[in-house]
Chains A and B, each alone.
Chain A
């Protein structure tokens, strides 16, 4: 289900699926963040419950700032937020105990072997040395770095560094995994591997994922819910899972001799339409059949050159959100 959002308006995931947890993963309660005179996040109100949540937005939209605020790196200037039920103002340490974070930049220690690096990070999360070593090996196996785990991180390729960062984020067994641009700098095959890995982790159903990216394909391939940010505000919320499940009929028509009458007449039947040049995307209302569309077109001398069944891609949703 797709929802256009007015700035500051509340967004709540419409329905919980049976597998979804009872409590929201992230609740934004009028969250604002200001650096000096610049307001980066503006009164965000939202409640997200999906197993995999995508944070989308153009560069500078505030995605990373939102993540960094949830992790306690930045202090909110107004409002607050809750992560897994803990307030970010008072319960940062509790939140950090439950979270695994894969940062966007090259955050590694180049002179360490991957296994030492992941073990140290797991120990810093509170695991005893023995368990941390075991988990480090397991995490590196899980992300596919088993063969290279004794090599120094400085010798790794960009793709391997990304995987090592993912390994350190999951080594301590978090309940929420936050991934900031996980496919940055990866070639297509490495990107595919990373996306597959994220999907595997998501499908293990042992943790929830927040994926922050400006790459729509990444989010579309992995996430159930999408929150689109633009200029520090929530531009759009979309529950992709609900959309996939919804029994709506999406059509895309390519028309010749198109005019406003046609879409107006279709909308009168209760259909939703979006027009761009000679193309019309529509969602058929209950009881409306395709022959009705042909009839309306014939009555108005509009020729239908092509008719495809489709629904909005994330790109359409994103572009619409940016337009609004």
Chain B
């Protein structure tokens, strides 16, 4: 077809498969995200710690190199589950910062501009819309959490040999599971808040408030009521409990891993319900 044609013409060409349409939103949203220099800088900064970890793994397997500098090689960092727990702790925190910056801008502009009817007047469902928007965060956060984690694990395996790999294979699974749970929480929370608060900046501030004030409020409840139930309001505590348990690092925590996991899944469910209520073509005023 030629653009100089000024009259309407119908389309009879091929169509993309229906299942792949959510990727359209992913492509456009991601392109928009990386137009922001601040976001790009933040994203690049998220790879500094994995690079440092890579260096540590390399050095740990090249003790003779360290000994040249007069350092005691045997006391260098052990590459074990605790090492990967630190890794996921740091990358998890960075994932949170990245989400606070990018997450609220995903849905709120569509709501503020009243653009949702344009999405849903096509063969494109609400679930696909949420999936498309969530996939931006899921893929972005995966790139800084479990994917570099698995790369580090792979490099450690190649340097330490098959016996170490076989003995520590569970760490790889724990890394993926821990990261995916945190990514799910962050993505759903960011999207739910941005769907309910149409202003991007306010939604970002609210995300920080939910996590930091939640933690503070949890401590206050624990102190005033002399209980440990307040921890259920502290998302950082809950996810940290799950990570510690999944990576089999001993710790004295007041909540069990199962309790923390259930609480996190409940949070995910609440966020999904909030999203489902808000992401629709038109709000029905009863």
Contact = CB atoms under 8 A, between A and B. Distances in A.
Interface of A: 35-38, 68, 71-74, 93, 96-97, 99-101, 103, 105-111, 116, 120-121, 123-128, 131, 134-135, 137-138, 141-142, 146, 168, 170, 172-173, 175, 200-201, 204, 206-207
Q: Which of A35, A126, A206 gathers the greatest number of chain B CB atoms within 10 Å?
A: A126
B22 to A, nearest CB: 9
A93 B123 contact: yes
Contacts of B24: 120, 123-124
A141 B3 CA distance: 7
User: B interface, by DSSP: helix, strand, loop or mixed?
Assistant: loop
Contact of A121 (B1, B4, B118, B280): B118
A128 B16 contact: yes
Given A73-B117, A108-B113, A68 B281 contact: yes
Nearest to B32: A111
A9 B32 CA distance: 52
B154 interface: no
Contacts of B285: 35
Interface stretch (B7-15, B238-246, B264-272): B7-15
B14 to A, nearest CB: 6
B10 A101 contact: no
B8 to A, nearest CB: 5
23 contacts: A35-B284, A35-B285, A37-B286, A73-B120, A73-B280, A74-B284, A101-B118, A103-B114, A103-B118, A103-B121, A111-B109, A124-B21, A124-B119, A128-B16, A134-B3, A137-B3, A138-B2, A142-B7, A168-B118, A172-B11, A172-B122, A173-B9, A201-B8
B163 interface: no
Contacts of B280: 73
Contacts of B125: 93
Given A127-B15, A141-B6, A36 B110 contact: no
Given A127-B16, A200-B7, 8 more contacts: A37-B286, A74-B284, A99-B121, A120-B24, A126-B16, A126-B18, A131-B13, A206-B9
Contacts of B110: 109
B183 to A, nearest CB: 25
B11 A141 contact: no
A207 B12 CA distance: 13
B279 to A, nearest CB: 12
Interface residues of B, number: 43
Interface of B: 1-16, 18, 21, 24-25, 28, 32, 109-110, 113-125, 280-282, 284-286
Contact of B109 (A35, A71, A109, A172): A109
A138 B8 CA distance: 8
Nearest to A200: B7
Given A120-B24, A125-B123, A105 B114 contact: yes
Contact of B7 (A126, A146, A204): A204
Contacts of B2: 138
A50 B4 CA distance: 30
Contacts of A138: 1-3, 5, 9
B10 A173 contact: yes
Contact of B15 (A100, A108, A126, A168): A126
B27 to A, nearest CB: 8
Given A68-B282, A141-B3, A127 B122 contact: no
Contacts of B5: 138, 141-142
Nearest to B5: A138
Given A138-B3, A168-B118, A206 B286 contact: no
Contacts of A131: 11, 13-14
A173 B12 contact: yes
A36 B113 contact: no
A305 B32 CA distance: 70
A72 B110 CA distance: 19
B121 A71 contact: yes
CB-based closest 10 A-B pairs: A173-B11, A36-B286, A101-B121, A126-B15, A173-B10, A73-B281, A137-B3, A123-B24, A206-B10, A204-B8
Contacts of B12: 173
B167 to A, nearest CB: 47
B8 A106 contact: no
A111 B32 CA distance: 9
A298 B1 CA distance: 67
Nearest to A75: B284
A207 B9 CA distance: 9
Nearest to B128: A124
Contacts of B115: 107-109
A211 to B, nearest CB: 15
A126 B14 CA distance: 8
Contacts of B10: 173, 175, 206-207
Q: Which of B4, B18, B24, B125 gathers the greatest number of chain A CB atoms within 10 Å?
A: B24
Contacts of A128: 13-16
B233 to A, nearest CB: 34
A286 to B, nearest CB: 42
